[in-house]
Amino acid sequence: MSGGGDFTEMAGKAIKDGVRLARERGHLQLDPAHVFSILVKERSSLPAQVLSRLNGDSQEVVKGCDRLLGSFSSQSPAPEEISPNNAMRGVLAEAERLRTAGGDSYLSLPDLFLALLKQKSLKEVLSSAGYSISAVEKAIQEVRGSRKVDSQTADENFEALSKYGRDLVADAENGKLDPVIGRDDEIRRVVQVLARRTKNNPILVGDPGVGKTAIAEGLAQRVVVGDVPEALKDCRIIALDVGALISGAKYRGEFEERLKAVLQEVKDAEGRVVLFIDEAHLLIGAGKTDGAMDAANLLKPMLARGELRCIGATTVDEYRKYIEKDAALERRFQQVHVEEPSVQTAITILRGLKDRYAAHHGVSIQDASLVAAATLSSRYITSRFLPDKAVDLLDEACSKIRVQLSSQPEAIDSLERRRQYLEVEVKALSKEKDQGSKTRLAEARKELSSVSEQLAPLRARYQQERELIDDLRKAKQKLQDLKRKLEVMEARHDVDAAADLRYDAIPGVQQRIRELEAKKKEQEDATESPLLVETVTPGHIAEVVSRWTGIPVSKLSQGEKTRLLSLEGELRKRVIGQEEAAAAVARAVLRSAAGLARRNQPTGSFLFAGPTGVGKTELAKALAAELFDSEARMIRFDMSEYMEQHAVSRLIGAPPGYVGHEAGGQLTEALRRHPYSVVLFDEMEKAHPQVLNVLLQLLDDGRITDSHGRTVDCTNCVVIMTSNLGSEHLMAMAADAGRHGPALEKARSMVLQTIRRSLRPELLNRLDDVIVFSPLNGDVLRQVVRLQLADVVRRLDELEVTMHITDAAVDRVLKAAHDPEMGARPLKRYMERHLVSRLSTLVLEDKLPAGSSVTIDWKATGGRGDWDFDVAMVAIFNTGERAADLVLLSPRNKSTMLYAIAEMPQEFRPAAQFLLRQRDRKMRVRVLQHFQPVADADAEEMRVSKTTNSTKLGSAIMSKFVDVAGNNLKRTVKLEFQGAFTASIAMEAIEKVAPGGVIIRQPRARLR
C-alpha cells in the first residue's frame, strides 16, 4: 500500500512504516495497531510528544502495543502485498472526513492519529497506561489548531516552538542552567525594554564570552522564582535555534513556512512567549533564495507592532557588520551593552559556579584556584574575554583531575608494568637449561614476588580511596539536585515539599558529606601521600594556561621571581663581553615583571646598535630562551625585505580587495598566536620609512591593528631592533684605544648621533633604550670560542661522544679566523669548516662510536701545523652485583691505561682477568685519589703472563691498594701496561670478561 497521494509527508511515512512493521512480523494485513505502534514509539513524532506531556505511562503504551501485535496471526514468509484490513480502511475514511471538515489540502498526522483513537483496541491500550482518551484528543486538537494544511510539509510546523526552540524557563526549573552571578543591571535593563508597548526587543551586544547568553538564562531563572514584573510572570523564554530552522528546508518556501509557524505560535501565546535569538546576526539572509524573504524581513512587522517580544544577542563586530547596515531592522531593537567583567567580578562568578563544577567532576576546588583562574586568564589569555576564559580554565583543570582519578595511579601502573615484564621473562627463562639462565630465573622470580607483595597493599589503598571519592562525589551531586529542587518548590510556594527538603532531606545529605570528608581526612593523615589527588590547586590551573599559551609553567609560578632576578647573569653567560647591554635589557624586564613599567606598552623595546658579529642577534635569542624557554619564541623579521613602501602589507595584512587579505599579516598573526615572544627587527635601517610607521602604534600603545580591524595585544612581547648605523666609528676608535678608553665613549656618542640623523625622533622616543654594543677583543673572543664550542659539545652528547679542546687549539682558531670588522661570526665559520667537518667525517667512518671521547689539539711543527684529533674509548663494564669498572682506552698512545673505580677489592678481579688474556705485559699499580697520584713512590711494577694466576694477581693488586688507601676503599687504582691495542679489540675483550657480556656506556664521564 502506498503512503503517498494526498497525505502529508509525515502521515504518509507513518503508514509506510506501519506496512514495513506488518511485513517484519509476518502479519497478513495492515491493522491500525501497526501505525499506532510506529507513532508512539518514535519519540520525535507529534503523538509521542503529546503523550509525554500528559498524565500517563508512555512506556506502558509501547508494551501494550507489543502485546496487541503479538496476538495477530502471522506467516513466514510474509505476503508480498500487504493490504489494509477493514479497521484500517475505517481509520483512513475517518481521517479523510476530518481533512474535509477542516478544509485541508492534505491529510495530516493529527487527523490520522485522531482517527486511530476511535479504535476500541487502541483506546484500551491508552486507558490501561493511565491516559484519558478525551484528554489525548483535546491535546491533539490544540496542537492542530485552526491552521490549514496546504502543503505536504505542514506537519513539521505543528509544535514549531518545541521543535525549533528550547524552553529556558523549563530548563531553569529542572536545574539544567548554571547560576548567574551578577549582571543585575543588564537583566534589569532587559526587563525594562521587554515591558515597553512597542519595539520591546532588547539586543545584547558585547564581546564573545562576556556573558550575553547568561543574561537570558538569568532572566529565565528570575521568571521561575517570580522575581520579574507582572508582565513577564508565567512567561516562557524560548531559545530559537536558527540552524534547526534552516536545516532540511529543501524546497522553496519551506523555511518561510517553518518560521511563520513559529511566529504564529508566539502570537497565539498572547505575550506569554519571549523569543531569545542567540547570534541574532544569523537572521540576516537566513533562508533567502531567489524571490524569497530572509528571516529578518519576516520578523520586522511583528517586531515593530509589539506582537513579538524578542531578545537578541550578538557581538559588537557582527552587530556593526550585519544589523547596523539594515536600519529598518536596527530601529526595532534596543541595544543593551554587555561589558567584560572585572577580574574581581570574575572571581565572584567562579565562586558561584564552584559547587556546580565540583559536583559535576567529582573533585574539590580550592578558592585559590578560582583566583588563579581569573587572574592568570586575564594576564596571559588576552585574545579572549572574562568570565568565559576563566570558566574554561577551571573546567579543563577539573577535567584533568577527573581523568587522573579514573585511571590507575602512577605508582601502581609502574609496578604493574614491571610485574608483566617479569612474568614474560620468567616464562622465557624457564625453558632455558644453562646455568646463567637458571641464576637469572631465580633472581627474576624473587623480584616478581617482591613486586607482587608491593602491589597488593597499594591496590587495596587505591580501592579504598577510589570508593570514598566516588561516594563523596555522589553525595555532593545529590546535594546540588536537592538544592535546585528546593528553589523550585519555594518558587511554586509548595510549603510542605520545601519544608521536607530544607529540614529533612538536605540536612541528611549534608551530614553524610561531613562524615565522608572526615573519613577522607583520617585516610589522608594515615598515609604520607594519597594515591589519588582530587583537589584542584593553582598549580593545575597554571598547567592548563601553559598548554593553551605555550608559556612555561615555571613562568606562572612564584619561582619565576628568582629566575628573573638572575636574568642578567644568564644573559652575560650567553653573550660574552656585552655586560652593559645585558644589564639594560634585564632592568627593563624586571620593571615589567614587578608591574612598575609603563602601562600598555611592550615588556621592553630596544635598539641594538654596533658592528656585525658582536652579539646583537645572539642577545635577542638568549632573551627568548631565558624568558620563554625556547629560542623558537623569537619572531624574526629581516628588514632588508621591507625596503618598498607596499611591504607594510606583509606585516599587518593586505587591504580589503587585494590578494592575500584573508591570510592576515606576518607580524600580527605571529603575535596573535604567540603573544609571549621576542620580536626582532633585524637591520631595521634598511626598511622603508613607511614600514617603520607601523611600529609607532606597537611601541606606544602596546597594540597593533591588522587589515581586518582586529586589535592585537603586544604588551607581553619584547621588541628588539638591530642596526649597523655608525659602526664604522666604533671600529676606528676601538682599533686605537681598546674597549674601555675615552675614545670608545666618543665613538659611542658618534654612533648615537648617526642614529638620530637616520631614524625619526618619534620612533626613538618610544624605545626604552638605545644600546651600543662594543667591538670584541682577544680575551672576549677566546671566551666566545669556548662558548660556541659548547654547542658542538651538546651536539656530540646526543651521539654519546665527549669532546675536549686544548688552549693551543683555541689560540689557533683565533689566529686563523679573527677579523676585527666581522666580529665573532668568522670564528664560527672557521670552526664549522675545520673542526666540525672533521668530526663529522670521524662519525660517519665509525671512528667516534657511542661512548668515545675526542680531544682536539693543534700540533705546531716548524712553521706549519696540523689539527690533531685524539680519540679515546670510555666504557663501563659490569662486574657483578657491585659497582662497575670505568675504562678509558686510548688506542693511539703507546701504553693503554685502565682506570678502575671500585668500592670492594674483589671487583678488580675482572680487570686482572682482562690483563691475563693479553701477552706478557709490564703492569704498574698506582693508587690515585680523584685521578691524581698520591705519590710516585707508590707505584709498583709486576709482570703479567699467560700463566699468571688470576686470583694471585688480583690479590697482589688489592694488597697494594689496601696498603696505600687504608680503610677508605673509595680510591682509584691506575693499572698501566705496555703495548697498543685498538679500541675495538679492547672492547671485545671487555665484553668477554664482563659477566653476561653486558656493556653499560657512560658517555658523559669527562676524563682527560
List pLDDT tens digits, range 474-505: 888 788 778 877 877 776 677 788 888 888 88
CA dist 68 and 57 (Å) reads: 17
Lowest mean pLDDT among 19-28, 185-194, 894-903: 894-903
CA dist 792 and 831 (Å) reads: 10
Q: How confident is the model at residue 555 (pLDDT cuts 50, 70, 90)?
A: low
Rounded mean pLDDT of 14-38?
Answer: 85
Q: What are the C-alpha distances in Å from 350 to residues 318, 339, 342, 373?
A: 28, 17, 12, 9
| Higher-pLDDT residue of 531, 432 | 432
CA dist 389 and 406 (Å) reads: 26
CA dist 161 and 164 (Å) reads: 5
Residues 648 and 642 sit within 8 Å (Cβ to Cβ):
yes
Residues 481 and 175 sit within 8 Å (Cβ to Cβ):
yes
Grid coordinates of 145: 489548531
CA dist 981 and 888 (Å) reads: 12
Give 615-651 pLDDT, tens digit per residue: 788 888 888 888 777 777 888 888 888 888 877 878 8
- Rounded (10°) CA dihedral 331, 332, 336, 340: -80
Residues in CB range of 22: below 8 A, 6 or more apart: 29, 30, 31, 34, 78, 82
The shares of helix, strand and coil residues in the chain, as percent rounded to the nearest 5, are 55, 15, 30
Give 136-157 pLDDT, tens digit per residue: 778 777 776 666 676 666 666 5
Q: How confident is the model at residue 978 (pLDDT cuts 50, 70, 90)?
A: very low
- Domains of the chain, residue spans: 9-155, 160-339, 558-758, 779-926, 940-992
End-to-end CA distance of the chain: 97
Nearest to 279 by CA among 313, 233, 308, 304: 313
Rounded mean pLDDT of 383-390?
Answer: 86
- Regarding pTM above 0.85, the answer is no
Buried b (16+ CB within 10 A) or exposed e, 349-376: bbeebbebbbbbbbbbbeeebbbbbbbb
- pLDDT for 338 beyond 80: yes
Q: Does domain 779-926 have CATH number 1.10.8.60?
A: yes
- pLDDT for 211 beyond 80: yes
Q: Does domain 558-758 have CATH number 3.40.91.10?
A: no
Grid coordinates of 969: 676503599
Q: What are the C-alpha distances in Å from 698 to residues 600, 603, 690, 765, 974?
A: 10, 11, 14, 13, 66
DSSP three-state, residue 168: helix
Nearest to 118 by CA among 145, 89, 142: 89
DSSP three-state, residue 316: helix
Give 673-721 pLDDT, tens digit per residue: 888 888 888 888 888 887 878 888 888 878 888 877 778 888 888 888 8
CA dist 112 and 95 (Å) reads: 5
Residues 863 and 819 sit within 8 Å (Cβ to Cβ):
no
pLDDT at 526: 67
Q: Which helix (H) or strand (E) holds 385?
A: none
Sheet with 202-206, edge to edge strand ranges: 165-167, 236-240, 273-278, 309-314, 202-206, 334-338
CA atoms within 13 A on the CB side of 329: 22
Rounded mean pLDDT of 556-573?
Answer: 71
Q: What are the C-alpha distances in Å from 958 to residues 104, 118, 764, 966?
A: 113, 110, 74, 11
CA dist 952 and 590 (Å) reads: 68
Residues in CB range of 165: below 8 A, 6 or more apart: 238, 239, 240, 241, 262, 275
Q: How confident is the model at residue 597 (pLDDT cuts 50, 70, 90)?
A: low
Residues in CB range of 111: below 8 A, 6 or more apart: 11, 95, 98, 99, 102, 104, 144
pLDDT at 382: 76
Give 260-275 pLDDT, tens digit per residue: 777 877 777 777 888 8
Cis ω before 387 (30° cut-off from 0):
yes
Helix axes 86-102, 109-116, angle to 10 degrees: 130
CA dist 493 and 146 (Å) reads: 36
CA dist 784 and 575 (Å) reads: 8
Residues 223 and 143 sit within 8 Å (Cβ to Cβ):
no
CA dist 625 and 570 (Å) reads: 10
Q: Any long-range contacts for 141-148 (C-beta under 8 Å, 24+ apart)?
A: 141/110, 141/114, 143/46, 143/50, 143/110, 144/102, 144/108, 144/110, 144/111, 145/268, 147/261, 147/264, 148/102, 148/103, 148/104, 148/105
| Higher-pLDDT residue of 564, 595 | 564
- Identify the sign of the CA torsion 403, 405, 409, 413: negative
Residues in CB range of 108: below 8 A, 6 or more apart: 8, 10, 11, 99, 144, 149, 154, 155, 158
> What percent of the chain has pLDDT above 90?
1
β-strand pairing of 678-682 with 634-638: parallel
pLDDT at 850: 67
Helix axes 506-526, 435-491, angle to 10 degrees: 150
Length of the chain equals: 1008
For residue 564, count other CB atoms closer than 10 A to its CB.
19
Residue 365 pairs with which residues in a beta bridge?
536
**CA 414 to the chain's CA centroid:** 26
- pLDDT for 981 beyond 60: no
Architecture of domain 9-155: Orthogonal Bundle (1.10)
CA dist 117 and 123 (Å) reads: 6
Grid coordinates of 270: 498572547
Rounded mean pLDDT of 739-756?
Answer: 71
Measured at the alpha carbon of residue 845, what is the angle toward residues 844 and 851, in degrees to the nearest 5? 80
- pLDDT for 228 beyond 70: yes
Amino acid residing at 63: K
| Higher-pLDDT residue of 964, 567 | 567
User: Same CATH topology for 160-339 and 779-926?
Assistant: no
| Higher-pLDDT residue of 810, 149 | 810
- CATH code of domain 160-339: 3.40.50.300
pLDDT at 930: 31
pLDDT at 43: 75
Local structure of residue 862 (DSSP, 8 states): T
CA dist 870 and 570 (Å) reads: 33
Local structure of residue 905 (DSSP, 8 states): G
Give 823-833 pLDDT, tens digit per residue: 667 777 878 88
pLDDT at 878: 32
Residue 311 pairs with which residues in a beta bridge?
276
Give 902-953 pLDDT, tens digit per residue: 322 343 444 444 443 433 333 333 333 333 333 333 334 444 343 444 444 4
pLDDT at 683: 83
For the chain, the average pLDDT equals 73
Give 409-460 pLDDT, tens digit per residue: 767 777 878 888 888 888 888 887 777 777 778 888 888 888 888 888 777 7
Rounded mean pLDDT of 267-293?
Answer: 72
pLDDT at 587: 84
Buried b (16+ CB within 10 A) or exposed e, 505-516: bbeebeebbeeb
- Identify the sign of the CA torsion 795, 799, 803, 809: negative
